Each structure stands twice: as structure tokens, then as C-alpha cells.
A and B are shown apart, each in its own frame.
Chain A
């Protein structure tokens, strides 16, 4: 089945530094990828929709200059948390949709635990 890989699975960084999270579709091509953030005991919150070769679409209230998204190929999207602060500590999850609608569905990565100290 479709597999989405996220890397790293966890990261600890110092306040003020930037962190990049990768999301790869391993066995399918994804024109669209989605980034979510999940705080403890809360639901997933959609941050942005990433389309290959174009600018990401951010949800209301999400700072696009802080959460930089790049979707340069059909199998890779990256999320960079710039100038991270402790309040950015969260579980970040990506999701990808297969370009082949016969293999429809949203496949989620296993998530990245970001801790900013």
C-alpha cells in the first residue's frame, strides 16, 4: 500500500534556530501534500496544503513566513519551522494524496515530534 515517510521522527532544537521536516511519498506520486500540527490531547489542525510546483496554501492563522513549505517534486515536501520557539513544540504530521485517483486516499506520515528548548 501507499507509504508516506517523515523524517526526522523526533527533533530537539534550541530556541531561535530553524528545523526542517521532510515528507516523502515512497511508492506513489503526490501532487498534493498536507501539513498538520497536533498538540497533546488535541486533534490535528491543518496548517497548509502543498501543491507540487506552486506556492502552498496556508490555513487562516498560520504564519506562512514562519512555516515555510516547499513541494519541489512529486514525492517530497518539506516544512521548515523558522526561528522556532518553545510554543512551536508540537507533533507535526504530513499527508499525501496519490496523483492516480484510482489509488485514492490520504496517506499520513508517522509524524515528527518537535521540541524547542
Chain B
């Protein structure tokens, strides 16, 4: 399993763009990169998944360089409600029957008014 490294915590202010970078130097050829969000006392919620280059949805963007050894989750114009822990996971495509999700430490994002 490819290990991931993320900053333990980040702070931001409302309305700013937040970029959280995750390192995964040992990512395998068939691994995907997936990000989850978790609020206190709740289960994680899927944010975005990508394999290479850039993926965008209504919530976030995911940037993956050509070597795929890192990825960056970009949250545009954060609000107080984006305060949460964000997890970067590397593993099989979430559509794969092979997958088990192993969570790393995650990044505590705190958004201030």
C-alpha cells in the first residue's frame, strides 16, 4: 500500500482558496488518488478522485503532476463549514472490487472568519 504524507493542520480565512498537498512517492501504476472529508463525529464523505492531470467537480479540484508522486486538493473560496479533516488515500479505483480504504493521518483544516 502506498503511504501518504499530508500536513497535520492548515489554517485559512473565509473566501480564500485552500490547497492541501499529499505526497505518495510509492504510488503504483494502477492506483488512484482519492480525497475524503470528515466532520467531527461523522463518517468520511467522498470529495474527489483522480488518476492523472486535473479533475474538477462542484466541490473541489484535484491536481496530479505527471509523475503522480503527489497531488493537491484545491478548495475554492472556503467557508467556515469547510472546517474538517481531509484525508488523501491512494489505492484501487473506488469502482474496483479489490479495494479496501486505509486512512492516513489527514489534514485538519480550520477556516477562520
Contacts and interface: CB of A to CB of B under 8 A. Distances in A.
Given A43-B103, A43-B104, A104 B94 contact: yes
Contacts of B94: 104-106
Prevailing SS type, chain B contact patch: loop
B95 A101 contact: yes
Contacts of B50: none
Contact of B105 (A43, A95, A107, A111): A43
Given A91-B41, A95-B43, A106-B46, A46 B95 contact: no
What 10 pairs across the A-B complex have the smallest Cβ distances? A108-B43, A104-B95, A44-B103, A43-B103, A93-B43, A101-B95, A105-B94, A108-B44, A109-B43, A111-B43
Interface of A: 4, 6, 32, 34, 36, 43-46, 49, 91, 93-95, 97, 101, 104-111, 113
